[in-house]
């Protein structure tokens, strides 16, 4: 049986509207790591007042994330990566998260 190219793969509704956007969120957080860190630091420093005191950091984080969410090229990149993971799972039966196991740091 010949492997289907990534262009021929038909994605289910849940894959296009849930799973790929989830991957996009995770990757966008990596790409906006400095803004995420600044917001988290502000929240830790200010406690309950974070709603008022961290508006600037929150706005910068939202702007960074939104740029990625609205980028069609970024969606396509994540879609192709999702398809590759899906094809690899169909080939091996091993979920991606089990293939990318991290070495314990307590060693």
The pLDDT of residue 102 is 47
Q: Report the pLDDT value the prediction gives residue 12, as an integer from 0 to 100.
A: 93
pLDDT in tens, 73-94: 999 999 999 999 999 999 998 8
Q: Which residue has the higher pLDDT, 8 or 52?
A: 52
Residues ≥6 apart with Cβ < 8 Å to 9:
83, 86, 87
CA distance 75 to 21: 8
pLDDT digit string, tens, across residues 17-69: 999 999 999 999 999 999 999 999 999 999 888 889 999 999 999 999 999 99
């Amino acid at each position: 049986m010949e492997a289907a190219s990534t262009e021929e793969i038909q994605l289910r509704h849940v894959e296009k509207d849930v799973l790929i956007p989830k991957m996009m969120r995770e990757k966008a957080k990596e790409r906006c790591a400095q803004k995420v860190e600044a917001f988290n630091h502000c929240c830790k420093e200010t406690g309950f007042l974070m709603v008022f005191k961290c508006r600037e950091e929150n706005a910068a984080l939202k702007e960074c994330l939104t740029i990625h969410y609205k980028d069609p090229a970024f969606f396509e990149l994540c879609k192709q990566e999702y398809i590759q993971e899906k094809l690899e799972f169909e080939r091996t039966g091993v979920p991606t998260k089990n293939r990318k196991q991290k070495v314990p740091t307590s060693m």
